[in-house]
Copies of this chain bind each other. A is one copy, B any other.
Amino acid sequence: MTTPLRLGIAGLGTVGIGVVKIVRQKAKLLEARTGRPVVITAVSARSRDKDRGVVLSDYAWEDDPVALAQRDDVDVFVELMGGHDGTTKAAIEAAIAAGKDVVTANKALLAHHGQALAEAAEAKGCVIRYEAAVAGGIPVIKALTEGLAGNEITRVMGVMNGTCNYILTRMQDAKLPYDEVFAEADALGYLEADPNLDVGGIDAGHKLAILASIAFGTQVAFDRVQLEGIQRISIDDIRQAKDMGYRIKLLGVAQMTGRGLEQRMTPCLVPADSPLGQLKGGTNMVVIEGDAVEQVVLRGPGAGEGPTASAVVGDICDVARGLRLPTFGVPAKDLKEPQQAYSNSPAPYYLRMSLLDRPGALAKIATILGETGISIDRMRQGKHVGNEAPVLIVTHKTQQSALREAVEMMQKTGVLAAEPVALRIESV
């Protein structure tokens, strides 16, 4: 097959330009690997005049990505604009309606509209590929959908937001408080325009929802991901966790249980000597557990021009080579709506609170834990500072619902100076 594969690239930011560079500079290599020339025919971006450091004059220009998606000389619509509604969605829909294959790095789009887009694409015989949407340069979609296709997946976990992991490891290494490191990350340009996408766990939650769909053959259900950000993690939490042999990570976990699908993206304690515990800085890690393979761990850069472009071009090569799979591994019409597990599987919890200096305060807390059926593994009260004393509790395995009930009861006693921080201790 020597017909060229013709790309239309929409979005010429860091990643888009990274893809243009690879396709230009490695034309021979890509042709050798895919058996056909891979060429760019047209591009689209907001501003035509901006100097992007690469020659774009060889390609047709479209101001409107929808028009790009519909061009007769485009086989694959490469969407690198971002945004999950408006023009981006319209352009992808137009591409599919015109029978084009789609390659995208857009996790928000797939998390919100994955099911509808997959159904539309499959009805038209088009493929949607999105390796770059999850964990940047790590070929995790491929590993899960293809390499591990012989497995019943039992659990997928991951640290999939490099900015959060940077903040948490920097807090630990430099012994700096959250606000200071957040400001640093902001100054370094690590944060999204809306930082809550990062530190609120939303971006990572999108990725988890996509992985869960492939892993369990269910429809993407981002709205059912239990989300909690890292904003309330203090330097104290990090130190306490470290003292006990743990690290705090914004960890995504998806697992199918008898009660339904658990999906959570929350700060957790993980053993310091586990691969997840050892992960530092902006690096991502995904752990896949299957009944046959046991456990596979994938680690790599979660963002950046090169790694993200690497994943996009990997997808383009797949299309060039003729690999045609349903978007989420099985036909979209066969994906089941996941039954949400409203209670998570039991786990030990880390509980930090600030106790007011009143007689019997600690006894009240302990009594509430007893009444809610939560048994205590360790408890430690620190020195009073002013009118408050820090109290740290590690529970034995308990239901999250029981813990929530206990925390609510504690807050009503009037002996707490602030809302407690409760973190799951995940066995990895």
Interface residues of A (CB under 8 A from B): 18, 22, 26, 29-30, 32-35, 131, 137-139, 142-143, 146-152, 217, 273, 275, 278, 290-301, 304, 306-307, 309-314, 316-318, 321-326, 329-331, 334
Residues of the B chain whose Cβ atoms lie less than 8 Å from the Cβ of A301: 293-295
A-B contact pairs, 9 of them (CB 8 A): A26-B150, A32-B331, A33-B149, A35-B331, A131-B147, A139-B147, A146-B317, A296-B299, A321-B325
CA A299 – CA B138 in complex, angstroms? Answer: 13
Cβ A293 vs Cβ B306 within 8 A: yes
CA A276 – CA B410 in complex, angstroms? Answer: 46
What residue of chain B has the Cβ atom nearest to residue A313's Cβ?
A: B150
Within the complex, the shortest CB–CB distance from A328 to chain B, in Å, comes to 10
Given contacts A217-B32, A323-B323, A325-B321, contact A148 B296 (CB under 8 A): no
Cβ A297 vs Cβ B294 within 8 A: no
CA A330 – CA B317 in complex, angstroms? Answer: 12
Contact partner of A294 among B137, B293, B322, CB < 8 A?
B137
What residue of chain B has the Cβ atom nearest to residue A137's Cβ?
A: B293
Residues of the B chain whose Cβ atoms lie less than 8 Å from the Cβ of A297: 297-300
The A interface, classified by DSSP as helix, strand, loop or mixed, is: mixed
What residue of chain B has the Cβ atom nearest to residue A21's Cβ?
A: B292
Residues of the B chain whose Cβ atoms lie less than 8 Å from the Cβ of A330: 32-33
Cβ A290 vs Cβ B275 within 8 A: no
Within the complex, the shortest CB–CB distance from A130 to chain B, in Å, comes to 13
Within the complex, the shortest CB–CB distance from A271 to chain B, in Å, comes to 12
Within the complex, the shortest CB–CB distance from A295 to chain B, in Å, comes to 6
Contact partner of A150 among B150, B310, B329, CB < 8 A?
B310
Given contacts A298-B297, A301-B295, contact A26 B139 (CB under 8 A): no
Residues of the B chain whose Cβ atoms lie less than 8 Å from the Cβ of A309: 150, 292
Cβ A22 vs Cβ B292 within 8 A: yes
CA A139 – CA B138 in complex, angstroms? Answer: 12
Cβ B299 vs Cβ A151 within 8 A: no
Within the complex, the shortest CB–CB distance from A214 to chain B, in Å, comes to 10
CA A354 – CA B315 in complex, angstroms? Answer: 55
Contact partner of A296 among B29, B138, B313, CB < 8 A?
B138
CA A45 – CA B261 in complex, angstroms? Answer: 42
Residues of the B chain whose Cβ atoms lie less than 8 Å from the Cβ of A18: 292
Cβ B290 vs Cβ A147 within 8 A: no
CA A313 – CA B138 in complex, angstroms? Answer: 22
Within the complex, the shortest CB–CB distance from A402 to chain B, in Å, comes to 35
Within the complex, the shortest CB–CB distance from A299 to chain B, in Å, comes to 4
Contact partner of A30 among B29, B131, B150, B321, CB < 8 A?
B150
Cβ A149 vs Cβ B317 within 8 A: yes
Residues of the B chain whose Cβ atoms lie less than 8 Å from the Cβ of A148: 139, 310, 314
Residues of the B chain whose Cβ atoms lie less than 8 Å from the Cβ of A310: 148, 150-151, 290, 292-293
Residues of the B chain whose Cβ atoms lie less than 8 Å from the Cβ of A149: 30, 33-34, 313-314, 317-318
Within the complex, the shortest CB–CB distance from A211 to chain B, in Å, comes to 15
Within the complex, the shortest CB–CB distance from A119 to chain B, in Å, comes to 16
Residues of the B chain whose Cβ atoms lie less than 8 Å from the Cβ of A147: 131, 139, 142-143, 311, 314
Cβ A300 vs Cβ B306 within 8 A: no
CA A287 – CA B326 in complex, angstroms? Answer: 29
Within the complex, the shortest CB–CB distance from A280 to chain B, in Å, comes to 9
Contact partner of A275 among B26, B151, B217, B275, CB < 8 A?
B275
Q: What 10 pairs between A and B have smallest CB-CB spacing?
A: A139-B147, A150-B313, A292-B310, A296-B300, A149-B317, A293-B310, A137-B293, A297-B299, A292-B306, A32-B330
